């Protein structure tokens, strides 16, 4: 059975037509995973027993003639910051290296309810703090297109697993670009929905006003299916939206490319962009133009401030959220300290990875007495300016097209000692998180060295349906998303 | 504005409840200073009269129905605790006798 580029719809229909069983399919994926994953190291935990058990009960359901879920038989890779009841959930950190949660995240439960099959938990920068997956407390994940390069991050394990065809779709979180950037570096499709579209319940918190769970798939059509299951209000997340969820898979042709106004902001095509990336992204705009879309020059000068806003507000929120990791109720803990204060200091000092410490320290500093107005309040005001600039742009255009990463994947080790250089990898993605907008990352070409390049379509608030529709039509006209790495 | 020196770093680390060794202090000090220097560009922006945004999207918070639902049992809640006794989380004494 060839599982490369097998779509969610094909799997479901094949199960119903009894072309193969869910158990056979799962065994095929697991065999491939065990052969390929030692090369790329995308998974922290492989849930083979759980996968086989879930597949068997799905087959029983089919045999009994019962209705099967929308994602029936699709193999799901789960970023390890999603809590999965009874299965170790580490968030990629030594702080939670042995943590088995007593509950599951809402999104994981929703996807299981539609009969998807969990194949494993994927690597991430510890607590998702990073842009290359090198900050993982476990090991480094490699880019399936070139094993000497990073897969991007923080959801690098999920992007690499999908790119290598070790799952049908994968879950990620995008706080500053952590879905879109690895999607582009690994040549898969990824969605960062509008903030509040998907529930955050049961996912480790990084920066609560930025964190956006989303997914990766091989195509915009598959992603529309998965996203429709994920989206919607959750009484356990007060910031999840009550707005109704459109039927994304049914709306894949609703956006008419003819006359569609696509904004291109010159600030997103300037230094530090790599020339090959610039060329491929500009060509993707031409694909839309040939179908009658109108390319409109827009200006987003405040976007250049987004990274600075991000690296104040996000560490501030991190410093508050990470306070819970004290090694008392759960998590790794240093024994035999002399008093409670030493327990906190030594436990956090010993188990937290460098990037956790750096960001907690920046946040603590920026929020400390005397600095609050200068850093936090100032950044929160500039955040308003960035949001307003996007809101005004959408009075003139329907979508904005931009690169996701200024460069293709870079060598492992190149940026790890220079956090600021690593932060700059998110320069085109983080403005979207600052504003809370939705964005879809799509593959759009390869460099001369055969490294994937991607772009993002940034939509107005709650317009995921238009993004999937435009992305679907783009993928009917191009075949970059169908290429697979040689492994 | 950035005034990160070793004394400030040590004070911040204590506030953050993180013990740093001397190697970490040496490594983090220039790294954190370069980030704090970078964010200085915000001071060039005139934000007078601009309201702050503490959330990404302005919307009403979602509530839940006021019904009783079961939560974690005491056993489940304590299952991951490194140390517990008589159904409680156990910590070092924080008050001196």
Give the integer Cα–Cα distance in Å for B42 and A304: 10
> Is the residue at A384 inside a domain?
no
pLDDT of residue A246 exceeding 60: yes
Question: Has residue A477 got a pLDDT over 70?
Answer: yes
Residue A112 parent element (H or E):
helix A106-113
pLDDT tens per residue across span A125-139: 999 999 999 999 999
CA–CA dist A89, B63 (Å, integer): 28
pLDDT higher than threshold 70 for residue A46: yes
Give the pLDDT band of residue B3 (cuts 50, 70, 90): low
Among B1, B19, B35, whose Cβ lies nearest the Cβ of A362? B35
C-alpha to C-alpha distance for B74 and A245, rounded to whole angstroms: 37
Contact between A187 and A163 under an 8 Å Cβ cutoff? The reply is: yes
Quick one: pLDDT at residue A106? Answer: 98
Q: Hey, what long-range contacts does A285-288 have (CB within 8 A, 24 or more apart)? A: A285/A401, A287/A474, A287/A477, A287/A478, A288/A257, A288/A260, A288/A262, A288/A401, A288/A470, A288/A474
* Mean pLDDT score, A196-223: 98
Apex CA A312: angle with CA B35 and CA A81, to 5°? 100
Residue A3 clears pLDDT 60, i.e. is over it: yes
Could you tell me the residue range of the domain that residue A66 belongs to?
8-263+396-482
What's the mean pLDDT in B54-65? 85
Average the pLDDT over A457-469 and give the result: 98
Average pLDDT for chain B: 92
pTM greater than the 0.90 cutoff: yes
| Partner-chain contact B50 A385, CB within 8 Å | yes
CB atoms within 10 A of CB A145: 25
Q: Per-residue pLDDT averaged across A227-252, rounded?
A: 96
A458: β partners:
A400, A439
In a domain, A339, yes or no: no
Tokens 């597949």 belong to A55
Tell me the C-alpha distance between A92 and A76, whole Å: 18
CB neighbour burial string for A226-246, b if at least 16 within 10 angstroms, e if fewer: bbbbbbbbbebbebbbeeebb
Buried b (16+ CB within 10 A) or exposed e, A60-78: ebbeeeeebbbbbbbbbbb
Return d(Cα A373, Cα A367) in angstroms, integer. Answer: 9
ipTM strictly over 0.90? yes
Residue B94 has pLDDT above 90, yes or no: no
Torsion A336-A341-A342-A343 (CA) sign: positive
Instruction: Say if A293 falls within a structural domain.
Output: no
Is B53 a residue whose pLDDT tops 70? yes
Tallying the residues shown for chain B, one arrives at: 97
* pLDDT band per the 50, 70, 90 thresholds, residue A415: very high
- Provide the β-strand partners of residue A82: A203
A342 touches chain B (CB under 8 A): yes
A158 tagged catalytic = no
Q: Is the pLDDT of residue B93 over 50?
A: yes
Which distant-in-sequence residues (6+ apart) come within 8 Å of A241 by Cβ?
A: A194, A196, A197, A233, A462, B57, B59, B62
Q: Note whether A139 and A123 are within 8 A (CB).
A: yes
The answer to whether B6 faces chain A, any CB pair under 8 Å, is no
Report the distance separating Cα A302 and Cα A115, nearest Å.
Answer: 44
Q: For residue B31, what pLDDT band results from cuts at 50, 70 and 90? A: very high
pLDDT at B65: 86
Q: In Å, how far from its chain's centre is CA A236?
A: 21
Tokens of A481: 């998303």
Q: Is A237 a member of any domain?
A: yes
Cβ under 8 Å to A: B residues 15-74? 15-21, 24, 27-28, 31-32, 34-36, 38-39, 41-43, 45, 47, 50-57, 59-65, 72
**Pairwise CA distance, residues A41 & A134, whole Å:** 12
**Mean pLDDT computed over A153-162:** 98
Residue A313 parent element (H or E): helix A306-321
Specify if A435 maps to a domain. yes
Per-residue pLDDT band for A248 (boundaries 50, 70, 90) equals: very high
Calculate ∠ Cα A95-A170-A106, nearest 5°.
65
* B5-9 mean pLDDT: 96
Does the pLDDT value for residue A178 go beyond 70?
A: yes
Q: How many domains does chain A have?
A: 1
Mean pLDDT of chain A: 97
Is any Cβ of chain B less than 8 angstroms from the Cβ of A384? yes
Residue A1 resides in a domain: no
Is A337 within the bounds of a domain?
Answer: no
> Which pLDDT band holds residue B80 (cuts at 50, 70, 90)?
very high
Residue B1 has pLDDT above 60, yes or no: no
User: What pLDDT sits at residue B95?
Assistant: 80
- Summarised one tens digit per residue, pLDDT across range B81-92 is 999 999 999 998
Contacts of A320 (CB under 8 A, 6+ apart): A363, A367
CB atoms within 10 A of CB A103: 17
Using CA atoms, how far apart are residues A431 and A306, in angstroms rounded to an integer? 5
User: Measured between beta carbons, which residues in chain B are less than 8 angstroms from residue A375?
Assistant: 39
Q: Is the pLDDT of residue B2 over 70?
A: no
Q: List the 192-211 stretch of A: residues with Cβ below 8 A of B.
A: 194-196, 209-210
Q: Is A342 a catalytic residue?
A: no
Tell how strand A43-46 and strand A117-122 pair up. antiparallel
**Does A408 map to a domain?**
yes
CATH code, domain with A164 = 3.90.1300.10
pLDDT at B64 over 90: no
């Amino acid at each position: 059975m060839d599982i490369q580029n097998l779509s969610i719809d094909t799997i479901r229909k094949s199960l119903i037509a009894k072309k193969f069983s869910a158990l056979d399919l799962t065994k095929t994926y697991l065999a491939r995973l065990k052969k390929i994953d030692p090369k790329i190291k995308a998974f922290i935990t492989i849930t083979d027993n759980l996968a086989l058990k879930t597949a068997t009960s799905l087959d029983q359901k089919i045999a009994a003639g019962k209705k099967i879920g929308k994602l029936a038989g699709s193999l799901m890779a789960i970023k390890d910051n999603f809590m999965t009841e009874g299965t170790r959930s580490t968030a990629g950190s030594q702080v939670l290296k042995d943590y088995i949660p007593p509950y599951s995240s809402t999104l994981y439960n929703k996807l299981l309810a539609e009969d998807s099959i969990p194949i494993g938990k994927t690597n991430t920068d510890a607590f998702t703090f990073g842009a290359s997956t090198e900050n993982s407390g476990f090991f480094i994940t490699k880019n399936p297109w070139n094993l000497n390069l990073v897969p991007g991050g923080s959801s690098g394990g999920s992007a690499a697993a999908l790119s290598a065809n070790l799952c049908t779709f994968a879950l990620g979180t995008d706080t500053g670009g952590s879905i879109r950037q690895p999607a582009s570096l690994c040549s898969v499709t990824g969605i960062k929905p509008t903030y509040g579209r998907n529930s955050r319940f049961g996912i480790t918190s990084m920066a609560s006003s930025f964190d956006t769970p989303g997914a990766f798939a091989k195509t915009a059509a598959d992603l529309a299916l998965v996203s429709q299951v994920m989206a919607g209000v959750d009484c356990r997340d007060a910031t999840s939206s009550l707005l109704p969820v459109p039927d994304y898979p049914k709306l894949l042709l609703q956006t008419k490319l003819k006359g569609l106004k696509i904004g291109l902001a010159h600030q997103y095509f300037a230094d530090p962009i790599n020339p090959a990336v610039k060329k491929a992204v500009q060509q993707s705009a031409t694909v839309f133009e040939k179908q009658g879309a109108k390319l409109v020059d827009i200006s987003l000068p405040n976007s250049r401030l987004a990274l600075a806003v991000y690296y104040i507000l996000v560490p501030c929120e991190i410093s508050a959220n990470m306070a819970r990791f004290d090694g008392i109720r759960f998590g790794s803990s240093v024994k035999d300290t002399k008093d409670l204060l030493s327990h906190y200091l030594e436990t956090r000092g010993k188990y937290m990875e460098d990037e956790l410490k750096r960001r907690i320290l920046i946040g603590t500093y920026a929020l400390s007495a005397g600095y609050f107005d200068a850093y936090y309040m100032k950044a929160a005001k500039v955040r308003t300016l960035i949001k307003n600039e996007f809101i005004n742009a959408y009075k003139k255009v329907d979508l904005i097209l931009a690169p996701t990463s200024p460069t293709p994947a870079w060598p492992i080790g190149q940026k790890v000692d220079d956090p600021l250089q690593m932060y700059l990898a998110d320069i085109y993605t983080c403005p979207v998180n600052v504003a809370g907008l939705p964005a879809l990352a799509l593959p759009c070409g390869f460099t001369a060295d055969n490294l994937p390049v991607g772009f993002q379509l940034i939509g107005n608030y709650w317009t995921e349906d238009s993004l999937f529709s435009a992305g679907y039509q783009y993928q009917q006209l191009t075949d970059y998303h169908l290429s697979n790495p040689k492994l | 504005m950035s005034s990160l020196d070793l004394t400030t770093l040590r004070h911040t680390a204590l506030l953050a409840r993180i013990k740093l060794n001397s190697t970490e202090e040496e490594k983090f000090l220039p790294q954190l200073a370069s980030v704090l220097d970078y964010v200085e560009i915000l001071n060039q922006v005139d934000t007078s009269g601009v309201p702050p945004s503490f959330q990404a999207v302005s919307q009403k918070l979602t509530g839940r129905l006021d019904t009783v639902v079961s939560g974690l049992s005491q056993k489940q809640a304590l299952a991951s605790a490194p140390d517990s006794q008589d159904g409680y989380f156990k910590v070092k004494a924080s008050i001196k006798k």
